[in-house]
């Protein structure tokens, strides 16, 4: 057996990847990283017309890209995205669930509307998107589903009780779906980042007190970069991770074990 047969394969060449919430932050970075690994990309975004630069960036890598309207958990949007992807590329090999919201407040002050928003988008939306794509994958007897969760699903964060609950639910849902869909050749995993430098965290981390308090919680001593997350996503989507399912991979710099 040659040394090449022993080497892990991290390539996504010839794959088709759907990334939701792809317009910015971790979602955008995941789309670019999967494209760099060889995959064509379907971008689930609220306003496709605003994703032209991202489409162009992916196409400059020699990959194909489509921006499709997606407002989670709108079932018509979900169905439309899947139809568009299959019509254009013939299949969906990888789904990266990245849509989520996190309006925080102390538990005693949380409004019912905030509870509804978080559960509707983070839990219901993730499930409906995953279910719809999995139905397609089941017919093909293969697929990779990766949900961007959070360290909040493992750790107790003050002022984030409902968000923490939603991410803990996604982590366990992942285990349940992994058990159900393994017989169809589908792997289901989550990636749980700590604080990552993105547009969404920029304002919070710009305050010196917040930055220091956050870094002090991270044993490795730094805020994460999107590349810290996308490396794990590409790994889970690749043949190198073919025996991993039902896992929650923490990208938290050690926060959960400190």
Catalytic residues, by residue number, are: 163
Q: 24 — phi, psi (to 5°)?
A: -155, 175
Angle formed at CA 131 by CA 127 and CA 134, multiple of 5 degrees:
135
Handedness of CA 44, 37, 243, 252 (dihedral sign): negative
Q: How far apart are CA 113 and CA 194, in angstroms?
A: 26
E strand or H helix at 11, and its extent?
none
The span from the CA of 238 to the CA of 1, in Å, is 22
CA–CA gap between residue 256 and residue 157 (Å, rounded): 11
Q: Which two tokens stand for residue 14?
A: 């010839």
Q: How far apart are CA 181 and CA 187, in angstroms?
A: 7
Alpha-carbon torsion (24, 26, 29, 30), positive or negative: negative
Strand, helix or coil for residue 188: strand
3-state secondary structure of 122: helix
Burial class (CB in 10 A: 0-12, 13-18, 19+), 206: exposed
């Amino acid at each position: 057996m040659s040394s090449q047969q022993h080497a892990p394969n991290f390539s996504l060449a010839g794959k088709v990847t759907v990334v939701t919430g792809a317009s910015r932050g971790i979602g955008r970075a995941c789309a670019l990283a999967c494209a760099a690994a060889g995959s064509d990309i379907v971008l689930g975004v609220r306003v496709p017309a605003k994703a032209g630069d991202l489409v162009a960036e992916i196409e400059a890598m020699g990959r194909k890209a489509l921006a499709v309207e997606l407002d989670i958990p709108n079932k018509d949007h979900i169905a439309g995205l899947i139809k568009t992807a299959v019509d254009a590329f013939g299949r969906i090999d990888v789904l990266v669930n990245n849509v989520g919201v996190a309006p925080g407040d102390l538990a005693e002050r949380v409004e019912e509307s905030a509870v509804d928003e978080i559960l509707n988008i983070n839990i219901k939306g993730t499930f409906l998107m995953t279910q719809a794509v999995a139905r397609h994958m089941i017919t093909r007897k293969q697929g990779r589903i990766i949900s961007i969760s959070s360290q909040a699903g493992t750790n107790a964060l003050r002022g984030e009780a409902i968000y923490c609950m939603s991410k803990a639910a996604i982590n366990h849902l992942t285990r349940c779906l992994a058990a159900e869909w393994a017989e169809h050749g589908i792997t289901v995993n989550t990636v749980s980042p700590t604080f990552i430098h993105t547009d969404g965290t920029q304002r919070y981390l710009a305050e010196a007190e917040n930055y220091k308090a956050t870094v002090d919680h991270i044993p490795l001593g730094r805020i994460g970069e999107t590349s810290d997350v996308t490396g794990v996503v590409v790994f889970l989507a690749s043949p190198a991770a073919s025996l991993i399912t039902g896992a929650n991979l923490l990208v938290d710099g050690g926060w959960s074990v400190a």
